[in-house]
Amino acid sequence: MKTIGVLGGMSWDSSLEWYRMANERVRERLGGHHSARILLDSLDFAEIESLQARDDWDAAGVLLADHARRLELAGADLIVLCTNTMHLVAARIQAAIGVPFLHIADTTAEAVLRTDARRVALLGTAFTMERPFYRERLEAHGIDVLVPAAEDRAGVHAVIYDELVHGIIRPESRAFYREVIERLVARGAEGVVLGCTEIELLVSEEDSPVPVFPTTALHVDAALAAAGLLAGD
C-alpha cells in the first residue's frame, strides 16, 4: 500500500468528507481493521482565502508547493489537493515534487467519459467557473463545458463561501442549486460536475435530472486506486 499525501483544510468540512470516504472505502473493500494510509496537512483556510481575495495566486502556489514538498519528505508516495479551486496552482505544486500529483479535474473527466455525457455543467466557486484552468482541463479530454449565467454564478459562489465552508446547510440553498441545474440542463447540459468539494455537502444525484459527477468522491476513488488500496478485483 502506498501512502497518500493530502493537502486539506480548504475547507476542513470537505477535507473531513475526503478523509471519511477514503477510510470507509478501504474498510468496505479490505475488511477487518484496515484503513487508508494517509498523511494529512490541514492548512489554515483563512490564509488561503485571503490570498484568493487579493488575487495573489503566485503566493498561494508557493505556499501549497511548500506544503506538498513537506508531505513528500514525510513519506507520501503521491499527492492530492482536496479542493477544486486551488488546482489553479496545480502546475506549481507538480513542479515542486518528485512524486505523482493526482489532478482532480482529470479524475472527473475520466468519470464523465465513462458515461454518454459529453457536455457538462460546471458548478464551483467563481474562480473555478470563470477562470479557464478547470474548464480547459476538462475540454482537453473532449468534454464541452457550460457554466451558469453571471447572476447564478454569483449565487453559487455565495452559498459556498457564506454557508458551506462554515458547515451551514440550508434547504433554500439546495432549492436554488436545483434551479441553477435545471437552467443548465435546459441549455443542453448532459451532466453536472460538482466542481467544489463543499457542494457535495448540499447537492446529490437526487437534486439533478441528469447525472452528477461528485469530484470529492471521484478523487478519493482515484487516489485509493493509485495507492493500490482498492486493487484486487
pLDDT at 133 over 80: yes
For residue 1, what pLDDT band results from cuts at 50, 70 and 90?
A: confident
For residue 229, what pLDDT band results from cuts at 50, 70 and 90?
A: confident
Q: What percent of the chain has pLDDT over 70?
A: 98
Rounded mean pLDDT of 176-190? 98
What per-residue confidence (pLDDT) applies to 231? 54
Q: Is 82 a catalytic residue?
A: no
Burial 121-146 (b: 16+ CB within 10 A, else e): bbbbbbbbbeeebbbebbeeeebebb
Distances 120 to 25, 123, 167 between C-alpha atoms, Å: 27, 10, 27
49-105 pLDDT, tens per residue?
Answer: 999 999 999 999 999 999 999 999 999 999 999 999 999 999 999 999 999 999 999
Active-site residue, selected from the candidate residues 83, 85, 108, 215: 83
What per-residue confidence (pLDDT) applies to 233? 37
Active-site residue, selected from the candidate residues 128, 196, 197, 216: 196
What per-residue confidence (pLDDT) applies to 116? 95
pTM: 0.91
Q: Is 128 a catalytic residue?
A: no
pLDDT at 232 over 90: no
Question: Three-state DSSP class for 60?
Answer: helix
Secondary element (H or E) of residue 173: helix 171-186
Task: Domains for the chain: give ranges and CATH numbers.
Answer: 4-103+218-226 (3.40.50.1860), 105-214 (3.40.50.1860)
pLDDT at 230 over 90: no
146-157 pLDDT, tens per residue?
Answer: 999 999 999 999
